[in-house]
């Protein structure tokens, strides 16, 4: 019987790819949270107090005020209108309650 050979050392892990920043407007950087759901993408930029939403290829920015956005949910089906609601330190925040930035 042949003796066991030593294991090969582990290869270094590949760094994670940065978020795809190609869709949000210039001037916004370092989102603290971002994601997508049902064809909508969002990214929250705490330093600029901005939320960027990409729906159907149209990007809209919102002023988030003192909200620290950490997640998103979207109503589905019969009673919901499909508009997103965001989670902040103050609870749920409807997109309609945020000021749209031109």
Mean pLDDT to the nearest integer, 67-77: 75
| Separation CA 64–CA 23 (nearest Å) | 19
- pLDDT tens digits, one per residue of 9-66: 888 877 766 656 678 888 888 899 888 877 888 999 999 999 999 988 899 999 999 9
Domain boundaries, the chain: 33-101
Segment 72-78 mean pLDDT: 63
Q: Is the pLDDT score of 100 beyond 60?
A: yes
Global pTM reads 0.71
Report the b/e string of 15-32 with b at 16+ CB within 10 A: eeeeeeeeebeeebeebe
């Amino acid at each position: 019987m042949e003796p066991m050979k030593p294991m090969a050392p582990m290869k270094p892990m590949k760094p994670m790819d940065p978020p795809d920043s190609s869709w949000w407007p210039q001037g916004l950087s370092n989102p603290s949270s971002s994601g997508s759901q049902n064809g909508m993408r969002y990214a929250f930029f705490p330093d600029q107090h901005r939320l960027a939403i990409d729906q159907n290829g149209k990007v809209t920015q919102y002023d988030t005020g003192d909200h620290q956005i950490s997640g998103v949910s979207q109503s589905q089906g019969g009673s919901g209108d499909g508009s997103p609601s965001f989670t902040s330190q103050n609870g749920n925040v409807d997109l309609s309650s945020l000021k749209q930035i031109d």
